[in-house]
Structure 1
Amino acid sequence: MERTLCDILRKHNKTDLQIITDAFKSYVRRKDKNISMLREYGKKLKVEGKLQTYLEVLL
C-alpha cells in the first residue's frame, strides 16, 4: 500500500489529481496504515516533499 502511494506521487504528471487525493484519503482512514513505512518509502523514492504536503493536509 505504502509503496503504491509513493509510486503514484512519482508519476504525478501522468496521474489525475483526484485519483491521488482519493488514494491518500482512503489510506489515512485505514486502521492498518503505517505512516513510518510510508515516509521511509517516500525517502527512498525521492517524493518526501510531495508526501509531506499530502500528509499535513490529511492528518
Structure 2
Amino acid sequence: MIEQFVKLIPKTWLNQSGQVFYSGRLAFSRPCPLYLLGLNPGGSAEEQAGETIV
C-alpha cells in the first residue's frame, strides 16, 4: 500500500523535511479508525537544519 501512496507524492515535495509529512511509515502501514492530520508548527527547516531529518 505505501508504495502506491509514494507514487502520488509530487517530486517537489520529497525534500520538504517536516513540512509535508511528519508521520513515519508505520502511520500508514495498517487500517486505523482515526488518523489526525494537522499543521506542523515545528518551525523552519532552514533555521533548524541541525534538528531536521531529511
Is the structural similarity TM-score above 0.5?
no
Name the structure with the higher helix share. Answer: 1
The TM-score normalised by the length of structure 1 is 0.25
Of structures 1 and 2, the larger Rg is shown by 2
Using the size of structure 2 for normalisation, the TM-score is 0.26
